[in-house]
Amino acid sequence: MQSDKKKVYIKTFGCQMNEHDSERIAGLMAEAGYDLSERPDDAQVIILNSCSIREKAYDKLRSEIGRFGSLKKKNPGLVIGVGGCVAQQEGKRLLGGGRLIDFVFGPRAIHKIPEIMERVSVDGRGVVEIGTTDDKMVDANMKRDNGITAWVSIMEGCDNYCSYCVVPYTRGREVSRPSNNIISEIEGLASDGFKEVTLLGQNVSSYGKGLSESVDFPTLLSSIEPIKGIERIRFITSHPRDLSPELIDAMAKLSKVCEHIHLPLQSGSDKILETMNRGYTYEEYRKKVDLIRDRIPSISVSTDIIVGFPGEDRDDFHKTRDAVMGIGFDSIFLFRYSRRPNTAALSLDGHLPEDLKIERLEEILLMQKEITSRKNRSYIGRSAQVLFDGQNSKEEGGIAGRTRTNRVVYAKGDSSLIGHLKEVKIVSSSFASLRGKLLENSINA
Ligand code: SF4
């Protein structure tokens, strides 16, 4: 039977934080009486949850606004909202004069969505709620599709002011969420059958700053570990400067904390790290990676690298290339520098031409492909624990999951295995994934 409830279509741009914000938006819209729609054409409300961290995501948003604008011409009753970082930055400028966009809300004003929807329907058009840095993290019911793995926000905003980054201007200063709220959300997830949580924040390692309780990130991890039903704990992102020996100790001791860390290096050149305002040298970073590998030998380390930062000369680039080769990351998110509004890097000398940035990006990409493929090959013949979380859409009777080290594994298997931890033997590998065979004694376990 077709539901006659109103529908909202949500389109998300950017990182996990934004994906998670969209789950909060969906939960709040459900409370306001809206079902999620898979297609924009069926919706009465369209929400674009924007990202401005890279120029590309910003450009994509602009083209989507144009696309949905033509839908609005056909259906003038359609309500369009823009949330996220671009909304925070642009505020009422986004409304423009053409009445294409009806409401704008920043990441800190998500909890005000029911009120915003009310105002849109009563006042007509043009509601702007960007929130302020005083708005604390407000708990909201999430609408999560996947009943196996969940993101849990533990902090929001950032005090680091890296010179290329818009986050401190869009998401504001760092605010941590009280630990009892986090624990009770995770207990609720466990009782709903979720097996894995990923703790989210721009800099989870500095969790606890500013809270009235005395709690830090290692303590928070220790409080989550005993929650029955949760089998795996992950977190993202850690700032290398704040990666403490205590956190490494907690990761080594707590059996549910997975052997994976995302530790953005950004550049191998100390000169560039300094102009980026990263707060560490390459040597300091390298020592932390050595320490964590020493304590947790099976750990997989991923990173972010920016090439073509203003002032990056050939020698700086070679240092980054040598760092990537020397450390041997399991995977890399590679970006070329793009100018972002309000950031300090905008006014630096020595902006590089795009073709040079692309050339450098491709050089590292090629190198990293070889490193990741080699690391993946080293899994062949070994067994690994996999949490299966979905079907493999490219293979009939195929299922997909992840190892504790965050590698994607495909296997042949019954869909009843989805949601379970199983042992597989890795039989082949590629740059992007592993292929496993379920171990007999694991299937029936
Ligand atoms: S640590 Fe730097 S790059 Fe990361 S969110 Fe904060 S300012 Fe941005």
Q: Is residue 1 part of a domain?
A: no
pLDDT of 60 higher than 90: no
Q: Is the CB of 104 under 6 A from ligand 1?
A: no
Q: Which of 353, 377, 401 is the last residue of a domain?
A: 377
Is 68 inside any structural domain?
A: yes
Q: Say yes or no: 193 and 325 in one domain.
A: yes
Is pLDDT at 186 greater than 80 in this prediction? yes
Q: Pick the more confident residue, 16 or 279.
A: 279
166 lines ligand 1 (CB under 6 A): no
CATH number for 387 = 2.40.50.140
Taking the C-alpha atoms of residue 255 and residue 257, their distance in angstroms, rounded to an integer, is 6
- CATH number of the domain within which 32 lies: 3.40.50.12160
pLDDT at position 407 over 80: yes
128 and 90 Cβ atoms separated by less than 8 Å = no
> How remote is the CA of residue 264 from the centroid of ligand 1, in Å?
10
Whether 138 is in a domain gets the answer no
DSSP 266: B
Q: Is 170 in the pocket of ligand 1 (CB under 6 A)?
A: no
Per DSSP, the residues of 51-115 read --SSHHHHHHHHHHHHHHHHHHHH-TT-EEEEEHHHHHHHGGGGGTTT----EEE-GGGGGGHHH
Q: How far is the CA of 202 from the centre of ligand 1 (A)?
A: 7
**Which is more confident, 140 or 278?**
278
CATH code, domain with 228:
3.80.30.20
> Is 179 in the same domain as 304?
yes
Q: Is 171 in the pocket of ligand 1 (CB under 6 A)?
A: no
Whether 276 has a pLDDT exceeding 80, the answer reads yes
pLDDT of residue 137: 60
Weakest-pLDDT range from 164-178, 193-207, 421-435: 164-178
| Beta strand ranges found along 249-382 (DSSP E) | 260-262, 300-307, 331-336
- Check pLDDT > 70 for residue 136: no
Mutating to test ligand 1, I would choose from 15, 163, 164, 202 the residue with most ligand atoms within 8 A of its C-beta, which is 202
DSSP 8: E
Same domain assignment for residues 360 and 392: no
Q: Do residues 209 and 276 share a domain?
A: yes
Per-residue tokens: 188? 């609720």
Mark whether 172 and 75 lie in a shared domain. Answer: no
pLDDT at 123: 65
246 and 160 within one domain: yes
Asked whether residue 119 falls in the same domain as residue 172, the answer is: no
Structure tokens at 342: 């309000």
Tokens 């299937």 belong to 443
Q: Residue 15: CB within 6 Å of ligand 1? A: no
Domain that holds residue 405: 383-443
- Does residue 193 fall inside a structural domain? yes
- Counting Cβ atoms within 10 Å, is residue 28 exposed (0-12), middle (13-18) or buried (19+)? buried
Question: Cα–Cα distances in Å, from 301 out to 84, 238, 258, 293, 296?
Answer: 29, 11, 11, 9, 11
pLDDT over 80 (residue 124): no
**End residue of a domain, out of 377, 395, 426:** 377
Mean pLDDT over residues 29-55, rounded?
Answer: 86
Name residue, tokens 């948003």.
Answer: 61
Read off the pLDDT of each residue in 232-254 and give the average, rounded to a whole number: 96
Residues 434 and 327 in one domain: no
Q: What is the mean pLDDT of the chain?
A: 90
Same domain, 317 and 203: yes
Whether 76 and 181 share a structural domain: no
Q: What's 258's DSSP letter?
A: -
Domain end marker among 377, 400, 434: 377
* Total domains, the chain: 3
Query: Are 190 and 92 in a shared domain?
Result: no
Residue with tokens 């938006």: 25
Q: Is residue 139 part of a domain?
A: no
Q: Is the pLDDT of residue 284 over 90?
A: yes
* Residues 297-339: tens digit of each pLDDT: 999 999 999 999 999 999 999 999 999 999 999 999 999 999 9
Q: How confident is the model at residue 354 (pLDDT cuts 50, 70, 90)?
A: very high
Start-to-end C-alpha separation, the chain = 39
Q: Rounded to two decimals, what is the model's pTM?
A: 0.87
**Residue 334 and residue 391 share a domain:** no
Confidence band for 138, pLDDT divided at 50, 70 and 90: low
Give CA separation, 69 vs 64, 161, 388, in Å. 8, 35, 40
- Structural domain includes residue 430: yes
Has residue 140 been placed in a domain? no
The answer to whether residue 435 sits within a structural domain is yes
Question: Using one digit for the tens of pLDDT, what is the confidence trace for 205-240?
Answer: 999 998 999 999 999 999 999 999 999 999 999 999
Q: 107 pLDDT exceeds 60?
A: yes
45: Cβ contacts below 8 Å, ≥ 6 apart: 6, 7, 8, 9, 29, 34, 78, 79, 80, 81, 117
